[in-house]
């Protein structure tokens, strides 16, 4: 919901002692504003709670949620690894000086060029299916290069999230079912016979925006038991298990927040106790939080345009951005909440849809928002926009991608606003 260090002075929103109206004036709108303190708190929270004296615990930030070079710096500072999904992600990380052997490289349809880049830079590759493993083997044989991999399996856990972000049911496009013995057998034979491609262990990701502890624990037990079966059946020494991300965050008032500290520490406890019981305690375990590191630490600031009351009795408050900077409501009915940042203490007496300026009726950021009475040039602040907003931003209608500002002691632009000339760069 609201950023952790949000406060109100003179009816105006501040993050710590930084006036958000001043930030909007200085850097223009729409604008993504991240509180760097909260970002770093979230990184520390995972590192401090996902830890054990019996095995190595790695917090791997899922960069698909939000990636700019400034994030790479913070990840290095706090000892997090990174999950990447494309050559673009790998390139940003590489150019930012991120240690490439601390990258877990994902994707259900990796190209040869992507695999070659990942092999050259010693990333850990999460293999998705048999044909990809064969291709990877060929690349490594040609280059006489060893590579460490994990293989993505699907543990069949229904984690009650929206169907577009549920990834571990039996029909998911990601990985192979852990219950498909025939396919798993072909994969294991390929690994057993490979001179260059090493299987560290299995990877799973059971979905996103999961609000309960139980699916995470169920995933730990399924993954440990499955790994032990494979070790015994193929006499193949696995060292690692990766449990993926999916830690939910609160967006609106009724969301029950997942206790991230408890979830991370309970997972470690179970890895330890169940691992001992079944005879497989991995030496390295991984989780991949994305949303829960960046989501709540950001607000998007918009300038209000006109207020429209339709003949059909519906109210719209127009804003100077929309689905191009936040596609999630249109994509999977995601919910957000907001305030007018220069009227924080005014009574909330107006119900309206917060509508963007794109040429789509579905370009609504919040349906039936209850807000302070808006006027043109007010600054509307939408909460919890740090995850999958900037990274999913588009140029539909030739809208320009907003700038991104990090607030530490002072505001700092970490991604500049696109310009009209940026648009023309691609055209012939």
Ligand X SMILES: Cc1ncc(COP(=O)(O)O)c(C=O)c1O
Give, as ranges, the residues between 377 and 416 that touch ligand X (CB under 6 A).
387
Using CB under 6 A, count the residues that bind ligand X: 18
* Closer of 65 and 354 to ligand X (Cβ): 65
Catalytic site includes residue 338:
no
Site string (98-127) toward ligand X, x via CB under 6 A: --------x---------------------
Of 37-45, 68-76, 242-250, 332-340, the segment contacting ligand X by CB under 6 A is 242-250
Q: Which of 72, 140, 338, 359 is catalytic?
A: 359
Site string (178-197) toward ligand X, x via CB under 6 A: --------------------
Reading the block at residue 369, the tokens are 């928002």
- The β-bridge partners of 35 are 407
Q: How far is the CB of 136 from ligand X (least distance, A)?
A: 18
Site string (253-282) toward ligand X, x via CB under 6 A: ------------------------------
* Closer of 162 and 412 to ligand X (Cβ): 162
Helix, strand, coil abundance in the chain, percent, nearest 5? 35, 25, 40
Q: Which stretches within 79-213 are classed as H helix?
A: 87-95, 112-120, 130-143, 181-193
Q: Give the phi and the psi of residue 68 in degrees, each rounded to 5.
A: -140, 160
Site string (143-162) toward ligand X, x via CB under 6 A: --------------------
Q: How far is the CB of 258 from ligand X (least distance, A)?
A: 10
CA distance 60 to 50: 11
Q: Give the phi and the psi of residue 204 in degrees, each rounded to 5.
A: -145, 155
Residue 90 burial (C-beta neighbours within 10 Å; 0-12, 13-18, 19+): buried
- The β-bridge partners of 197 are 147
Q: Which stretches within 249-376 are classed as H helix?
A: 260-278, 291-294, 328-332
Reading the block at residue 282, the tokens are 């991995």
Of 229-237, 241-249, 298-306, 310-318, the segment contacting ligand X by CB under 6 A is 241-249
Q: N- to C-terminal Cα distance for the chain? A: 43
* Closer of 107 and 329 to ligand X (Cβ): 107
- The β-bridge partners of 14 are 7, 19
Helix (H, G, I), strand (E, B) or coil at 375: coil
Give, as ranges, the residues between 4 and 63 that touch ligand X (CB under 6 A).
62
Q: Give the phi and the psi of residue 60 in degrees, each rounded to 5.
A: -110, 115
Nearest to 379, CA basis, from 20, 33, 32: 20
* Closer of 241 and 304 to ligand X (Cβ): 241
Contact flag: residue 65 with ligand X (CB under 6 A): yes
* Closer of 6 and 153 to ligand X (Cβ): 153
* Closer of 104 and 301 to ligand X (Cβ): 104
Contact flag: residue 129 with ligand X (CB under 6 A): no
Among 194, 208, 219, 326, binds ligand X (CB under 6 A): 208
Reading the block at residue 57, the tokens are 């615990």
* Closer of 208 and 296 to ligand X (Cβ): 208
CA distance 75 to 80: 5
Q: How far is the CB of 369 from ligand X (least distance, A)?
A: 25
* Closer of 89 and 288 to ligand X (Cβ): 288
Reading the block at residue 184, the tokens are 């798993």
Among 81, 243, 247, 336, binds ligand X (CB under 6 A): 247
Q: How far is the CB of 76 from ligand X (least distance, A)?
A: 19
CA distance 386 to 350: 26
Give, as ranges, the residues between 279 and 298 that touch ligand X (CB under 6 A).
288-292
Q: Give the phi and the psi of residue 387 in degrees, each rounded to 5.
A: -105, 130
Reading the block at residue 303, the tokens are 């300038």
CA distance 263 to 215: 10
From residue 342, how far is each of 4, 9, 272, 354 by CA, in Å?
19, 10, 50, 17
Cβ contact 245:263 at 8 Å = no
Q: How far is the CB of 275 from ligand X (least distance, A)?
A: 22
- Chain residues binding ligand X by CB under 6 A are 62, 64-65, 83, 106, 205, 208-209, 244-247, 288-292, 387
Which residue numbers are catalytic? 359
């Amino acid at each position: 919901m609201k950023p952790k260090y949000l406060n109100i002075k003179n009816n105006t929103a501040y993050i710590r002692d930084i006036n958000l109206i001043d930030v909007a004036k200085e850097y223009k709108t729409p604008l993504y504003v991240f509180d760097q303190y909260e970002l770093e708190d979230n990184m520390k929270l995972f590192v401090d709670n996902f830890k054990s004296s019996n095995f190595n615990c790695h917090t791997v930030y899922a960069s698909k949620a939000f990636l700019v070079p400034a994030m790479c710096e913070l990840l290095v500072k706090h000892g997090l690894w990174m999950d990447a999904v494309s050559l673009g992600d790998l390139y940003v990380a590489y150019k930012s000086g991120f240690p490439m052997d601390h990258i877990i490289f994902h994707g259900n349809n990796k190209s040869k060029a992507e695999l070659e880049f990942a092999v050259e830079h010693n990333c850990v590759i999460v293999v998705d299916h048999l044909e990809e493993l064969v291709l990877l083997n060929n690349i490594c044989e040609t280059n006489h290069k060893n590579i460490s991999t994990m293989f993505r399996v699907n543990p069949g856990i229904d984690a009650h999230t929206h169907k577009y972000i549920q990834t571990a049911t039996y029909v998911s496009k990601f990985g192979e079912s852990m219950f498909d013995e025939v396919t798993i057998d072909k994969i294991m034979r390929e690994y057993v016979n490979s001179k260059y491609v090493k299987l560290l262990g299995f990877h799973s990701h059971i979905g996103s925006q999961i609000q309960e502890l139980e699916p995470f624990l169920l995933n730990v037990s399924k993954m440990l038991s499955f790994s032990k079966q494979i070790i015994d059946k193929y006499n193949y020494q696995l060292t690692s298990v990766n449990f993926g991300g999916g830690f939910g965050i609160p967006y609106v008032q009724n969301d029950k927040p997942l206790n991230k500290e408890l979830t991370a520490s309970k997972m470690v406890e179970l890895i330890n106790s169940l691992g001992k019981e079944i005879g497989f305690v991995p030496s390295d375990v991984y989780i991949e939080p994305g949303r829960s590191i960046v989501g709540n630490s950001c607000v998007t600031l918009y300038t209000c345009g006109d207020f429209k009351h339709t003949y059909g009795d519906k109210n719209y408050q127009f804003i100077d951005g929309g689905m191009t900077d936040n596609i999630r409501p249109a994509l999977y009915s995601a919910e957000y909440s907001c305030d007018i940042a220069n009227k924080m203490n005014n009574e909330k007496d107006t119900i309206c849809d917060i509508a963007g300026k794109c040429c789509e009726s579905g370009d609504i950021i919040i349906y039936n928002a209850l807000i302070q009475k808006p006027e043109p040039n007010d600054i509307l602040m939408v909460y919890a926009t740090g995850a999958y907003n900037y990274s999913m931003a588009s140029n539909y209608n030739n809208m320009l991608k907003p700038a991104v500002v990090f607030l530490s002691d002072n505001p700092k632009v970490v991604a500049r606003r696109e310009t009209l000339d940026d648009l023309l760069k691609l055209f012939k």
